[in-house]
Structure 1
Amino acid sequence: MLELASKAFLTFFVVIDPVGVVPIFVALAGNRPRPEQLRIARKAILVAGGVILFFALVGGPLLERLGISLEALRIAGGILLFRIAVDMVFAHWERETKEEQDEARERSDVSVFPLAIPLIAGPGTLASVLILAGESRRVEFGLWIVLGMAAVVLVMAYFLLRASSRLRFLLGRTGINVITRVLGLLLAALAVQYVADGARAFLES
């Protein structure tokens, strides 16, 4: 149980990247009144949590109905996570066009898109929750452990968003970039492990 909990926490923390979401949140909502910032942060976390919960509960049966094995999902999820890790390490989101930045900034409600989806509950997060939910079947109360770790990371993300202005002042853009790149490196290693485990299990079966 402890191994599953630590793996789930590390996976969600790296994939969701609460620290990396802070500068994007500041860019999208930093010029809005404080109460509205808190409302946006709260709604984004609740929507992301609902999406993660849905995939954790329904994702497994849906895969079985489609005839997709957990091994295949591990390989596909690992490839996807590696792609996201490359973006984190090389900060590809910083190369977003000015038109795309202006459009996102001008949205009346940025809590659902792009904050909740795809920044918090993005493809990497959803792939990870499906993989972890499948692995949790071998552990008593495993699914609750996975969901609990997801909730812990989401709560951490919420408080970081609440303190976004202060955190940005303390770390600076360089500090946030350094943390995001380190998390990207860890995510790349985790992605390679997913692919290796999936390929080995697939060949053995």
Structure 2
Amino acid sequence: MFNITLRDFISVFIPIFVAVDVVGTIPLFIALVDGQAKKQRRKIVIDSVTTASLIAVLFLFIGKGLLGVIGITIPDFQIAGGALIFIISVRLLLPGAKKSLNFDKNDKFLGIFPLGTPLITGPAVLTTALMMIDIYGVKLTLLSIILNMLIVWYVLARAEDILHVMGQTGVRAVSKIMYILLAAIGVMMIRRGIMGVFL
């Protein structure tokens, strides 16, 4: 049985949702699929969500084992991972961070790279997921990843409608808030890691 409390679920779901930042991906997604046929857009959405999900779930089950093989403890990873998440979030807060990436719009693997990874499932998502496993366990983390990927699928499938409602300014504002929250999550992970080393 899961024995999941609402508080635990929210504690896992929100950090992963923030790390994914699907709202911030909308403008870049629209720019990349601009001019594509409807059928091709659907394929790109499916490819991106499938790729992102597979990478996240695979890392969920082998990530901790890999760390053990090379002698990295959970507190070590919490400190390094927290620092990485903090740095990534600060960089993404800078103007034009995602726009500075150059991609070929005609690439048939566009859904796999850059959308599936690193834009949907990147270092921030992988690090956050691994931290959530250590705190809340695999089942709850896996459930949160699956639900987040379903949200990603829906948002990208309706990206133009969402952008029309929110506008570029609204999307940017929400995205900036997500990055600030992500930076705070990074600090929390560093704090937990330091406590794990010394306590």
Would you call these one fold, judging by a TM-score over 0.5? Answer: yes
Q: Which residue of 1 aligns with 2:28?
A: 24
Q: d(CA) in 2 for partners of 1:189 and 1:135?
A: 17
Q: Which residue of 2 aligns with 1:110?
A: 110
Is 2:134 the counterpart of 1:134?
yes
Alignment deviations for residues 19-38 of structure 1 (CA, whole Å, 9 cap, x no partner): 11111110111221111111
Q: 2:52·2:116 contact (CA, 8 Å) conserved in 1?
A: yes
Shift of 1:94: 4.8
Q: d(CA) in 1 for partners of 2:114 and 2:98?
A: 15
Closer, same or farther: CA 183–78 of 1 in aligned 2, 3 Å: same
Secondary structure in structure 2 of the residue aligned to 1:175:
helix
Q: 1:60·1:134 contact (CA, 8 Å) conserved in 2?
A: no
Q: Which contiguous aligned blocks of 4+ residues in structure 1 show a shift greater than 6 angstroms?
A: none
Q: Which residue of 2 aligns with 1:139?
A: none
Q: Which residue of 2 aligns with 1:93?
A: 97
TM-score relative to the length of structure 2:
0.92
Aligned letter for 1:128? T
Shift of 1:171: 1.3
- Structure 2: gaps (5+ residues): none
Closer, same or farther: CA 126–71 of 1 in aligned 2, 3 Å: same
Q: d(CA) in 2 for partners of 1:106 and 1:5?
A: 39
Shift of 1:95: 5.2
Q: 1:12·1:153 contact (CA, 8 Å) conserved in 2?
A: yes
Q: 1:30·1:165 contact (CA, 8 Å) conserved in 2?
A: no
Closer, same or farther: CA 133–171 of 1 in aligned 2, 3 Å: same
TM-score relative to the length of structure 1:
0.90
Q: d(CA) in 2 for partners of 1:91 and 1:172?
A: 17
Q: Which residue of 2 aligns with 1:119?
A: 119
Closer, same or farther: CA 116–94 of 1 in aligned 2, 3 Å: closer
Q: Which residue of 2 aligns with 1:173?
A: 168
Q: Which residue of 2 aligns with 1:58?
A: 62
Aligned letter for 1:162? A
Q: d(CA) in 1 for partners of 2:119 and 2:174?
A: 16
Closer, same or farther: CA 114–95 of 1 in aligned 2, 3 Å: closer
Q: d(CA) in 1 for partners of 2:82 and 2:145?
A: 19
Q: Which residue of 2 aligns with 1:72?
A: 76
Aligned letter for 2:170? G
| Structure number with higher helix proportion | 1
Q: d(CA) in 2 for partners of 1:186 and 1:160?
A: 20
Q: 1:60·1:130 contact (CA, 8 Å) conserved in 2?
A: yes
Is 2:78 the counterpart of 1:83?
no
Secondary structure in structure 1 of the residue aligned to 2:68:
helix
Secondary structure in structure 1 of the residue aligned to 2:108:
coil
Alignment deviations for residues 111-169 of structure 1 (CA, whole Å, 9 cap, x no partner): 01000110011011111112112223xxxxx3111101111111111100000111111
- Structure 1: gaps (5+ residues): 137-141
Q: Which residue of 1 aligns with 2:141?
A: 146
Closer, same or farther: CA 40–6 of 1 in aligned 2, 3 Å: same
